[in-house]
Every structure is written in structure tokens, then in C-alpha cells.
Chain A
Amino acid sequence: MSAQHEIRTEQLRSGYGARVVVDGVDLVVPSGRISVIVGANACGKSTLLKTIARLLPAQDGAVVLDGRRIDTIPTKELARTLGLLPQQPVAPEGIVVTDLVGRGRHPHQKLFRPWTTADDQAVTSAMAAAGVLDLADRAVDELSGGQRQRVWIAMALAQSTDVLLLDEPTTFLDVSHQIEVLDLLTDLNRTRGTTIVMVLHDINLAARYADHMVALRAGRVVADGPPHAVVTAELVREVFALDSLVVPDPVSGAPMVLPRGRHHVGIAPGGALDGVADPSSAAASLAPALSSALSPTSDVLERP
């Protein structure tokens, strides 16, 4: 299992030049758990992750790893503990999957030390864990978006870090690939005990996959804790300026946000929820209509 690491931020302030994006954030990242940072566009969630990953310097306060400020830890040593999957990375032209994943070994290699068996083993297991072993000799350019994202995750895994930070790992993926990536990260967390911190756009997927959620608004933490404590209608209104209904997700039981926009809102607030909250009854009421619609023309399609 992965070693335990304590990551804290203390009155962290960061941003881009004079523009302060994250201001006064005190956060403790639970070790060995999946933490997800959520918030509206431009609330500072990516900036916070980037500062924890030392891509941006702290303007004030500090990011502390196991009691040491990260800006005092040698970069290579830090790279053996803290891995990062940046947003939308671009692979060198024509590079083969194995070679790209192999670049994740960088912090473990020395200038004049040849490639070792340990490196080969780490690369192979990383590819197996990310489910890209079959693609080992393919060029990264030829792969689909979902496959490519798994290759990047494999590269981050080959780095063999106990902590993995991911900046919107599901952006630009279709829904099945989003689930695939999040399931893979959950596997890693459960089998290796890897501490995972990620930024996600989709609050429902965040609530489903997170052990711990952090909600940001205007660069400050509004709420943090387990999803059922964080994701409430009041919080969604405060963070996203959105009127919504929060119900238990019928698949996972995690809180699920159903936004109320200006259109297509048929049920009054607090009104008849029964049909929505109970998926089995909804499905049951739909089934006869579906089968009667299909059966006259096709017996094959009719369910037994």
C-alpha cells in the first residue's frame, strides 16, 4: 500500500501576477482518500490544485507536505511523492505508448544509469493498471480520446507516487469514458491506497466518486466534508448561483443535483417528488408504454 502523507494548505493565497485567484485557503487533504474540488467557472479550483502541485508559487501562506513547505523540498524528491496529471496534455508526435509511459520514470532515473528492470516493471504495471497494456506498441496519436487519457494516467502511475493530483481528468471525454476514468482512479485508490485529489466540473460525478469534497467560491472554501454534507440545495445556490433540487442518486445513493432552470420545470418546489425519487416505479410506469409502442411492429424487440 502507499505510504501515508499529510497535505495541508495554510492561509494559501495564489494567482496570476496581481490577480489573486485563491485567497486564504486552509485545507487538509485526507490521506488515502479521494478528494474532489468543485466550484463554478473561475472560482479558483484549478488554481488551487496547481498551487498544491507547485505549478504556481504560493503568494502567501504555504502548501505543506508531511510538515515541510513544498517550496523547500527538492523538485526531484517531491516528484517521487506527488504526481500530477495536467489538463489537456499533448504527446510528442508519433511517440509509442510504452515510451510515453516510460517518461513517467524520469524522477527515478539518473543521468548515467541505464534503464533498469525495475523501470520496465513499473511501466508494465502502470499500463496494466490503466488498462493500456494491449496498446503498448501503438502510437499515442492514433488512439481515441478515452484511450489517450488512460495512457496519460498510466504515465502518472509509472511515476509511482503516493499522491496523485488530477486537473479535470474527464474534460472532453464522453460519458462512458468519464466513468471509465473515474472507475480506474477509484480502483487505484482502493487497491494501492493512493491519495487522489482532483478537480471535476460535473458536480454529480464529483459527489458520486468523492470521499471528501471541497466547494470553492471566489477563491475561498465554502464547505468541505463528505459529499452528503457538502452537496445541498443551499450550497449549490451559494456556489453555483443555481436553484436546484438535491435528491439521492438512484444508482449510487450519493447526493444528486437536479438544476432548475427557467424552462422545462414542471414540478413545483418541494412538490410531487415520488415519481422521481423512486426509480423503480418510474421504470415500471415507462415499461408498458415502451413495449406497447414496439410490439405491434416487432416481436423481436419485445421484452420477455
Chain B
Amino acid sequence: MAALLDSLPAVSDADVERVRAGRRRRSRRRTVALVVLSVLAVALFAAMLMLGNTIYPVSDVLAVLRGEDVSGASFAVGTLRLPRALTAVLAGAAFGVAGSTFQTMLRNPLASPDVIGITSGASAAAVLSIVVLKWSGTATMGLSLAVGILTALVIYLAARGGDSTGGRLILIGIGVGAMLDSVVAYLLLKAAVWDLAVATRWMTGSLNGSRMEDILPLAIAVVVLVPIVLFLARDLGALELGDSWATALGVRVDRTRVLLVVAAVALACVATATTGPIAFVAFLAGPIAARIVGPGSSVVLPAALTGACLVLAADLLGQFAFDTKFPVGVITGILGAPYLIYLLVRTSRRGGSA
């Protein structure tokens, strides 16, 4: 170590101090941003628990969370709102991590699993399993996961030979996604689902009817897979520079990429099988998080928090901001569509990838 440093030209302590100060300034900003995002997520989570047909004060909500029996609140908060809020946080985090991992690895903001059709695959599998075959929750998860990974594999194989920033992969993915979306619509029609809630869930995503017993697979996926992605975040930062740089920096490119893809696809698929493909959360969380924490650092953790905040905020808006209640995916869809158009315009203007 010392020998290596000796071989570099000497620099003044003032210069080192200046460089260190700049780095610390940026890492402070990142810490502040993470704290702000966490506080925001907690506040939105609390609002989800307190707001509804009856507004319960913080004391009642805390009492319910402690397991005490509060008349009225125990049912409304404990049975209806808590599962909904937990599902929102977990699904938001899962979509956020999945999206930002794909976007960073492929160095393209369009490359998130909801744009390139992977969540559409998981959604089609979930509809088949739940609505048509009437399978259980665990079987549904398994099928969604399998179809999601299969979709990713098909897109990857079809796009092989394209450039490394995935322009071709994205276009193929958008096509595959459109096909799978029509599979969802077809299955819903075939199964004669006239229930609007069920239909919107599998087309745009919804938190309606979230139940505590359905959360477990998603919770396990988030608790196991998010730390794995965080563990690989530094290697992901090297992959962001391209395969050549990553190899030069000592990253085992193929192994790291497979691990990251499987973790990200699994997160997106399990979240989709739970809530439906909540539109554009995976797509939006990373870029918004990057704006908040500043460029140059890992976006995985900020994207998890941003995703959770997005889903919580959009669901609160959908439930309370309008005369009609909208499912969460309608609100995130309205937020995400303009950004998608902006990126597509930017892509076509540059004549390449975004």
C-alpha cells in the first residue's frame, strides 16, 4: 500500500484536504437526503394509518400498533390500513430497488423492469394463477417469479448483440411488454372478470384489499434481496462504467450481473404478484432519488425510500384527493407518463439511447 502511494507524485496537504472536503460535502448531502426521505416515508406511513373514513389520532394508532384493543380503531387501523400501508412501503421499496438496479446496470433510465415488460410478464402470470387457475398465494408467487425471469431471459436473448447501453433491449422489451399486457387483458376477459377492482389491479396496480396474510412473501423478498443488492452496490457502481472498466477494477462482471439481475427481477415480480404492476414506480424512483441525493453515489437505498414514498403518497392522493377513489397505479401512471415521453423524445433527438 505504502509502496504504491510512494510511486505517485507528492501533493500538498492543502490539496488533499480540499479533495476530502468536497467528498465529505457530497456525502453529507447524501446523508441529509436519506434522513429526509426516511422522515417523509414515516410521515406518509403515519398518515396512511390515521386517515380514512374516520380520522384516528396518533395515540389511538399507537395503541393499536401496541396490540391494545381500541374500539373501531382496531379494525380500521389494524385490519384495513396497516396491511395497506405496509404493502405500499414494501412494494415501493421493491420496485424502487429493482428499477434503479436495472437503470444503473444498463446505464439507461428507460431500462427499468416496468418499461421493458418484466412486470407485465409477472402480472400475466399472476392473473393466470389467481383469476383463471385459482391457485394459492405461494404458487402465484412462484409462477410470477418464473415467468418474470423467463421474460427477462427472452428479452436478453432477443437483444443479444446490441450495444451495452441497451437501446435494442429496451425496444424489444417495450414490444414484449405490450404483448404481455394484452395477455393480461385477454385472460381477464376470458375469465369474465367484471369486477373493476380485480381488473385494475392486474393492469395498473392497486393496494385495495391488501391483507396481512398476503404480505409475507413480499416482506421476505425485500428483507432478503434488498441487502444483497446493497451488498453489491459498489460493484454495481463499477458496472455503471461499462464492462471493461468493471473488469479492470477487479469486479467479476458476469457473476455480479447475474446476481443483480436475478435479485432485481425477483423483487419486481414478487411486488407485482402482490399489488399488480404499480405503474412507473420502478421507472421513476431511481431518477428522482438521484436528483435528491446528488450524482455519483449509489442510488439503491435512496431509490428504495423514494419508491416507498411514491407509492404511499400516490395512494393517499388516490384515496383522498378526488371525489372518486383511484387505485394507486392510476396516480403513479399520471406522474410517470410525462417523464417517459420526455425520455423518449430525448432518446430520438440524440438518435440513440437515452
How many interface residues does A have (CB within 8 Å)?
Answer: 64
B216: CB under 8 A from chain A?
Answer: no
Residues 105-129 of B at the A interface (beta carbon under 8 Å): 107
* Interface: A106 (CB within 8 A): yes
Q: Mark B4-25, 1 if CB is under 8 A from A, else 0.
A: 1101111100011011101100
* Interface residue A146 (Cβ < 8 Å from any Cβ of B): no
Q: Which residues of A contact B241 (CB under 8 A)?
A: 89-92, 103
* Chain B, 185-225, CB within 8 A of any chain A CB: none
Inter-chain contacts of A93 with B (CB < 8 A): 290, 295
For the complex, what is the distance from the CA of A294 to the CA of B20, rounded to whole Å?
54
Q: State the Cβ distance, B347 to closest chain A Cβ, in Å.
A: 14
CB distance from B244 to the nearest CB of A (A): 3
Residues of A near B296 (CB, < 8 A) are 92, 94-96, 99-100
Q: Are A98 and B22 CB-contacts (below 8 A) given A79-B250, A86-B245, A118-B1?
A: yes
Measured CA separation A2–B243 after assembly (Å): 27
A157–B22 touching, CB < 8 Å: no
Q: Kindly state whether residue A245 has any CB partner on chain B within 8 Å.
A: no
- Whether A133 pairs with B295 at a CB distance below 8 angstroms is no
Interchain CB contact under 8 A, B234 and A122: no
Residues of chain B with a CB closer than 8 A to A159's CB: 248-249
Determine whether B297 belongs to the interface, using a CB cutoff of 8 Å to chain A: yes
Instruction: For the complex, give the distance between the alpha carbons of A137 and B248 in Å.
Output: 25
Candidates B7, B16, B249, B297; contact of A124 at CB < 8 Å? B16
Bound CA–CA A55/B254 (angstroms): 12
Residue contact A121 to B16, C-beta cutoff 8 Å? yes
A292 located at the interface, meaning its Cβ lies under 8 Å from any Cβ of chain B in the complex: no
Contact status B9-A136, CB under 8 Å? no
A109 contacts the other chain (CB 8 A): yes
On whether the beta carbons of B11 and A109 are closer than 8 Å, the reply is no
B-facing mask of A93-125, CB < 8 A → 1, else 0? Answer: 111101110111011110100010110111111
Task: Write the nearest CB–CB distance from A131 to chain B, whole angstroms.
Answer: 11
CB of A139 within 8 Å of the partner chain: yes
Q: A106 near B3 (CB under 8 angstroms)? A: no
Compute how far the CA of A98 lies from the CA of B25 in the bound complex, rounded to whole angstroms.
12
Q: Is the CB of B5 within 8 A of A129?
A: no
Q: Of B234, B243, B248, which is within 8 A of A83 by CB?
A: B248
A11-50 residues with Cβ-Cβ distance < 8 A to B are: 50
B249 touches A137 (CB 8 A): no
A193 in the interface, Cβ–Cβ < 8 Å? Answer: yes
B-chain residues with CB within 8 Å of residue A109 when the two chains form the complex: 234
A7 to chain B, nearest CB (A): 15
Tell me if A191 counts as interface (CB < 8 A to partner B).
Answer: yes
Q: Which residues of A contact B1 (CB under 8 A)?
A: 108, 118
**Given the complex, which residues of A lie within 8 Å of B242, measured CB to CB?**
86, 89-90
A191 neighbours in B (Cβ, 8 Å): 9
Contact A96 B9 (CB under 8 A): no
A53 proximal to B (CB < 8 A)? yes
Assess A120 versus B22: contact at CB under 8 Å? Given A3-B3, A55-B244: no
Q: Does A1 contact B (CB under 8 A)?
A: yes
Query: Which chain A residues numbered 71 to 94 have a C-beta less than 8 Å away from chain B?
Result: 75-80, 82-87, 89-94
Question: What is the 8 Å Cβ interface bit string for chain B, positions 22-50, against chain A (1 contact, 0 not)?
Answer: 11001000000000000000000000000
- Taking a contact as CB atoms closer than 8 A, the residue among A2, A92, A107, A115 that contacts B23 in the complex is A115
- Of the A-B pairs whose beta carbons lie under 8 Å apart in the complex, a sample of 8, sorted by A's number, is A55-B244, A79-B250, A92-B295, A104-B249, A106-B250, A129-B8, A136-B19, A159-B248
